[in-house]
Amino acid sequence: MLDTSRKRYRIRIIAPAYPAFNIYSYTASRTTALGPICVATSVNEMEKWDVEVIDENNLRRYGPAGIPTGADHELLQSQRPADVAGFYGGLTSTIPRLYEIARFYKTKGVVTIAGGQHFCKENIEEALASGVDYVVIGEGEETIKELLWSLEGKQKISEVKGIAYLDNDQVVFTPSREPLKDFDNLPLPDFSLVRYAKIKLYPVERIRACGMNCEFCTVKGKPRKSSPERLLERISFLLETKDARHFFIVDDLFGQERDETIRFCNMLRDYQKNTERRLDMTVQIRLDKAKDTELLSAMRQAGISTVAIGFESPIEEELKAMNKCLKPEDMLSLVKIYRKFGFLIHGMFIFGYPVKEGISFSMSAKERLKRLKRFIKKARLDTIQVLLPVPLPGTELRERLNAQNRIYSVRDVGWEYYDGNFPVFEPDKPMTAEDTQYAIRKMMGKFYQFKYMFMIGLNIFFFPSIVFFLHDIKAGWRIWYRSWRNSLVRFGGWITFKNWTSKFEEGNFSEKLKSARLQLKK
């Protein structure tokens, strides 16, 4: 309980730092997670409460950096003491850092609360034994307010729905909370609550949940939405208050609720025309939405320039294991449609996905890599991301691999390695864990190369060639810009990948992997 004599309280909500430099670090330093901001905004409406968000991956504006990573919480607590510390557990790889900070705040007498996708039922007890007082299960906007009221003594802890805590060393689960449905009733996310961050890419959302039911994904359920008007209001508010120009619509599947999505695109198109401001939008979308040319046309007119597509694999047996309803032979024809509409395409792949029992399929890492290279080349993707499958807590994939006794113990290969860059389970034969990690490193190293530094200069040299497109200057600009932009991004990707490789070689993951494999065989 909190000191009820206090006139005001402070809650500090923290997004923990990545365990080490990785391929996400550059982007993370220019954006932030939306979940902590939504929760913080909800608290900000409460009487007697001050709230701030600390994103440890984005401390570029005078942020008190810790050693070797994250923020200096000792300094933060001395400058602005928090009564409650909240922790964002949306990324499993950041969980060890989350527990580290939670233990620090607990030693200072601060109440600690954690929430996010990592905290499914199997990890609740672990969290409560690692410095966390209360775990919020599910969405936090309403739960956090009731929990803070209870800490003020205004209601009983047991009456707060959707939380878990310890009572006499026993884990208590309160009744579950219904998922939020009326998103239009929520306040606009207040990005000014994020201290020290320089944000260039702003996350916004309209739809939560996804009905595609992919085996490896934690985002499930019937889609729940806010209105197109509310999403446009979020974007316009950020443009007017932050001069924001770059947005990432974080919906897991852009294009759900098709007619409303098209209506939103048309509204966004008109808004940009009226304000004379051009916005840049990135979305995640299914490959088969290429068949809906009306939707694609509306997206382009709305300023959606980049689509992130989960191709996952060009191998049919792997796609079936993932519950993906696509065939490899259809993929190339569909991706050509996105290119025809002028979208920049970011392709996301999972290398070496484990097939389900009963399926007769065997392929070496070398052959899988060969097929992946061939597909990426034919698809002419602008950027790629190739990761290993991750059996995240709460997924069907983890249940399946656990039943087969294939997951390396978290004691040997900790949560910090659950970012897709490290093998964390025994792969399908004839592959080994070392094979799979080597393959993705080779694929990323092939795509992002030093040579693109020279291509940047060549593209600048050939800029005057746009004059040959005077009959269609927009088409000429798109062709030149795509080539220049991709050279710049691929050279930047080479720098990032080189740094990651250097950090990997300095670490001791290889030894951990050997130990984990020995333990698995016992």
HEC string for 419-480 = CCCCCCECCCCCCCHHHHHHHHHHHHHHHCCCCHHHHHHHHHHCHHHHHHHHHHHHHHHHHH
Distance CA 73, CA 112 (A): 14
Does the pLDDT at position 476 exceed 70?
no
Q: What pLDDT sits at residue 322? A: 78
Tens digits of residue pLDDT in 173-206: 999 999 998 899 999 999 999 999 999 999 999 9
pLDDT of residue 458 exceeding 80, the answer is no
Per-residue pLDDT reduced to its tens digit, 93-137: 999 999 999 999 999 999 999 999 999 989 999 999 999 999 999
* Secondary structure in 3-state letters for 76-105: HHHHCCCCEEEEECCCHHHHHHHHHHHHHH
Residue 475 has pLDDT above 70, yes or no: no
Give me the amino acid identity at 66. Answer: G
Q: Using one digit for the tens of pLDDT, what is the confidence trace for 233-280?
A: 999 999 999 999 999 999 999 998 899 999 999 999 999 999 999 999
Percentage of residues of the chain with pLDDT beyond 90: 77
Contact call for residues 307 and 344 (beta carbons, < 8 A):
yes
CA distance 103 to 92: 18
Domain ranges of the chain: 9-173, 197-446
* Chain segment 355-403, per-residue pLDDT in tens: 988 888 899 999 999 999 999 999 999 999 999 999 999 999 999 999 9
Residue 465: pLDDT band (50, 70, 90) is: low
For residue 67, what are the contacts with CB-CB under 8 A and spacing of at least 6?
none
Q: Cα angle vertex 288, ends 287, 294, to 5°?
A: 105
Q: How confident is the model at residue 503 (pLDDT cuts 50, 70, 90)?
A: confident
The architecture in CATH of the region 197-446 reads Alpha-Beta Barrel (3.20)
What is the structure's pLDDT at 406? 96
**Distances in whole angstroms, Cα of residue 433 to Cα of each of 33, 94, 260, 281:** 31, 22, 44, 37
pLDDT at residue 462 in the model: 57
CA 335 to chain centre: 23
- In whole numbers, what is the pLDDT of the chain averaged over residues? 92
User: Can you tell me the distance from the alpha carbon of 71 to that of 58, in angstroms, rounded to the nearest whole number?
Assistant: 10
CA angle 129, 133, 135 (to 5 degrees): 90
Backbone angles phi, psi at 346, to 5 degrees: -100, 115
Mean pLDDT over 53-71 rounds to 94
CATH class of the domain whose range is 9-173: alpha beta
The pair phi, psi for residue 511, each rounded to 5°, is: -70, -40
- Give the N- to C-terminal CA distance of the chain in Å, as an integer: 46
Classify residue 149 as left (phi > 0), alpha (psi -120 to 50) or beta. Answer: alpha
